[in-house]
Structure 1
Amino acid sequence: MNILVLDASNKGLLVVLKKDNNIFYKQNFEKNSGNYIIPLIKEILEENSISIDNIDLFGCTIGPGSFTGIRISIASLQGLLFNKNKKVVPIVSTEIIYNSYNGPYKLDKIAILKRARVDAAYVHIFENGKTIFNPNLIHINDLKNLIDNAYLLGEESLYFKEKLDLPNELLKAEFSPETFISYIENNRNKALLPENLKILYLQKPLAVENFEKKNNIKIDENLYN
């Protein structure tokens, strides 16, 4: 099975291709890396002599993470697959981080923290290999109690550990392109048509919040998702 994956939820952009059981990837960490999504896809396909039509399944990160990067990658994939009989597996970025860790504490309580606003973090907690707290936006004042006795995992968890002087032990994730491919293969049953792919909104975009405050109204999230 040939697979193509886009991830723009973290720093920069990652494109992963699986072709004939070989895995290839391209990265871009330049500012506004979302502008390079289409050229990077074209480049990795051409270098490996394969076309979009020969990709069997796609994957795309839906969050939590950078709104701009995620929105651009979803829109790019929807454009590339317009009017094609292809499906996309939505990827939860915190699940990818958890899956990338295979150390001795895998079944213990593990919390993954990602940057959100200045006063909040995206939090996803696992135990015994399963989610016990779904990805959510948590104020930093409530963070310590929520993640009590949990190991922390991921680069952005280190940011919060240092910022809040958290006592939690930090684990290292062995992040790799292979993790994305395994995720897609294990979640084929969740594949959607491209037009049904949506961002995992855990907070409203700042522009929406400002508009609501200015006009004293509430906007249905389906209108901006």
Structure 2
Amino acid sequence: MRVLGVDTSTMMATCAVLDGEKLLGEYSLNQDMSHSESLVPMIKEMLDSLNLQVSDIDLYGVSLGPGSFTGLRIGIATVKSFAHVFNKPIIGVSTLEGLAFNLVHGGTIVPMIDARRNRVYTGIYKWEKGRLINILKPSIKEMEELLELLNKDYDNIMVNGNGALLHKEKIEDSLKGKVRLSPISLNSCRAASIAELALLNRHGENQYNYYNLVPEYLRESQAQRELRKRES
């Protein structure tokens, strides 16, 4: 089964193709460029290099968020259009789960995505019997609140994501020997992880179609907040 994975939840635009348990290709760019400009050409270049067509893909995996509102809409709209045209299934994957899946770690895994104003999108994950288990559901937290929770209840912690990089000094000062930052290669969103999670969960509850697939923002957009203020 060929799987195309896509993640556009952060500045990193990334796409990958799996064929069963084999990674055929992965293409990632972290640059100040709109995903609307880069994503489809990236997918086309990767598929052309593999002598594949979009119609050869059997399953799509896409990150649902949290993350950049605009980036998520672009990635999801792209995958929904492919699924519509070729009538193929879609699996939605949490961006935080995808980040956590990068790390094979025997302790506590805490992915962090910058949510601005000293906040991060985060969750807590552990590997149990070869499966990644979510033990604190995705949410948005103040850094001080998150660090207090981790200091109190967890040890042997590994963190990754752009939020972890942004707050690196604060994390290390607070958690000291309890925490490690991930290697650079595993610190960003990877489409290969999204694709593999889609493959693993293809018979589960996260299967969508091009009608009902929507982003999971975890908070209102700026436009929504301003509209609510005007209406109140």
Structure ranking higher on relative contact order (CA contacts 8 Å, 6+ apart): 2
Aligned residue in 2 for 1:220: none
Aligned residue in 2 for 1:223: none
1:191 and 1:17, CA in 2 relative to 1: closer, same or farther beyond 3 A?
same
Q: Give yes or no for the alignment of 1:154 onto 2:160.
A: yes
> What is the rounded CA distance, in whole Å, between the counterparts of 2:223 and 2:121 in structure 1?
19
Aligned residue in 2 for 1:59: 61
- The counterpart of 2:224, out of the listed 208, 211, 222, is 208
Aligned residue in 1 for 2:118: 119
The letter of the residue matching 1:112 is P
> What is the rounded CA distance, in whole Å, between the counterparts of 2:119 and 2:127 in structure 1?
26
TM-score by length of 2: 0.81
> What is the rounded CA distance, in whole Å, between the counterparts of 2:97 and 2:44 in structure 1?
27
Check conservation: 2:5, 2:192, Cα contact below 8 A: no
The letter of the residue matching 1:210 is E
SS at match of 1:101: coil
> What is the rounded CA distance, in whole Å, between the counterparts of 1:47 and 1:83 in structure 2?
22
Check conservation: 1:60, 1:74, Cα contact below 8 A: yes
- What percentage of residue pairs aligned between the two structures are identical? 24
Check conservation: 1:60, 1:88, Cα contact below 8 A: yes
TM-superposed CA distance for 1:52, in Å, is 1.7
Check conservation: 2:83, 2:209, Cα contact below 8 A: no
Structure (1 or 2) with the greater strand fraction = 2
State the number of aligned residues. Answer: 213
Aligned residue in 2 for 1:139: 142
The letter of the residue matching 1:181 is A
Please, what is the CA RMSD of the aligned residues?
2.2
SS at match of 1:188: coil
User: Which contiguous aligned blocks of 4+ residues in structure 1 show a shift greater than 6 angstroms?
Assistant: none
Gaps of 5+ in 2: none
Check conservation: 1:12, 1:33, Cα contact below 8 A: no
Gaps of 5+ in 1: 217-225
